[in-house]
Amino acid sequence: MKSMILASLFLACVFPGVPKAADSSSYPNRPIHIVVPFAAGGGGDFIARSWAGKFSEIMKQPVIVDNRGGGNTVIGTEVVAKAPANGYTLLLVNPSFATNPALQPHLPYKTPDDFTPVGLILTYAMGLAARSSLQADNIPQLLALGKKSHHPFTVATSGLGSASYLASELFGKATGLDLLNVSYRGAGPAMLDVAGGNVDLAFTGFSQIKPLLASRRVKLLGTSGQHRLKSAPDTKTIAEQGVKDFAAFVWWGILAPAGTPDDIILKVNKALRQSLSDPKVVQRLEVIDGEVQVTSPAEFGSFLHDEISRWSTLSAPKPVKAPAS
């Protein structure tokens, strides 16, 4: 009981908009929107659609996955920040939510004040994909190629502060490789340019890499976790290939607008737990080797607080924008 009280006090301080109790007996009675602040076809889109159907079944209402990519997730995030606090507009977030305050000081919303935590839902490691014509099939060959080259490798990311951006930054510092960030509106368009030979590299979830790998349009040089991906057991981790202790992960969670009532938040959290534990949903997420771990709202609030503090000194280089399509 004491820990629950402390958790509630923590959330009240860190998330001023944390919900107050209210009657949710009629919730939900109309469609629920899950705003995905990334382009359709990307990792966030895949994750949301993996469980949205089951979530709809449990909530007994239509669930609409609403892709609002752009602005390094700012466009979609602002939509939810300004939405009514009634549980009908939810936001799927990843590390960009925690890094944007440092990279973009004039956001059109307050982080984390304008949001209520619902729960962390998923984490997974990434793969490092390369264009098929790159003269390297693994990490040692990539490092050797980098030493010979007079130009940086271009690396496609989902924008400054995204998980793919953070992974590439960590990789560059760990290896000494010169990497030039090329920002996209999501993993889908980023990987299409890697497959098209326009960009050299990209860190992303295996769900984005697998179909392009099967058609030999990209290569998989290594994976970013502490253990090999179950989906690619023959591919060594980056750490196994000589980059000591390297590890980079993606996390995903759900937020609601500040002031959303407690009982609605708890109802959504319960439905998320049920949805993400469904065998069919678990099977869909196996393609990215996702580890489902739906936390409580208080635990996710604490996690976000730590992540925002962790990246508070992150500085923004000048990225190269993706070519217009």
218 plus 260 within the same structural domain: no
Give dist(CA 73, CA 37) in Å, integer: 5
179 plus 90 within the same structural domain: no
257 plus 119 within the same structural domain: yes
DSSP-derived secondary structure letter, 196: T
20 plus 40 within the same structural domain: yes
Give me the amino acid identity at 224. Answer: S
**CA distances for 151 relative to 89, 133, 145, angstroms:** 45, 16, 10
162 plus 222 within the same structural domain: yes
Angle at 34 between CA 307 and CA 66, to 5 degrees: 115
Contact by Cβ (8 Å): 194, 204: no
Q: Is residue 59 part of a domain?
A: yes
Domain span at residue 78 reads 2-123+251-310
74 plus 134 within the same structural domain: no
User: Which positions ≥6 away from 274 have C-beta within 8 Å?
Assistant: 54, 58
201 plus 286 within the same structural domain: no
Indicate the pTM of the whole model. Answer: 0.75
Q: Is residue 318 part of a domain?
A: no
Our count of domains for the chain comes to: 2
Strand pairing class (179-183; 153-157): parallel
140 plus 234 within the same structural domain: yes
Q: Is residue 320 part of a domain?
A: no
pLDDT by residue for the chain (325 residues), tens only, comes to 333 333 433 444 445 444 444 457 799 999 999 999 988 888 889 999 999 999 999 999 999 999 998 888 999 999 999 999 999 999 999 999 999 999 888 999 999 999 999 999 999 999 999 999 999 999 999 999 999 998 999 999 988 888 899 999 889 999 999 999 999 878 889 999 999 999 999 999 888 899 999 999 999 999 999 899 988 999 999 999 999 989 898 999 999 999 999 999 999 999 999 999 999 999 999 878 888 989 999 999 999 999 999 888 876 655 555 655 4
Give dist(CA 168, CA 181) in Å, integer: 8
109 plus 180 within the same structural domain: no
132 plus 111 within the same structural domain: no
For position 240, which CATH number holds? Answer: 3.40.190.10
12 plus 63 within the same structural domain: yes
Spatial CA neighbour of 97 closest among 291, 307, 290: 307
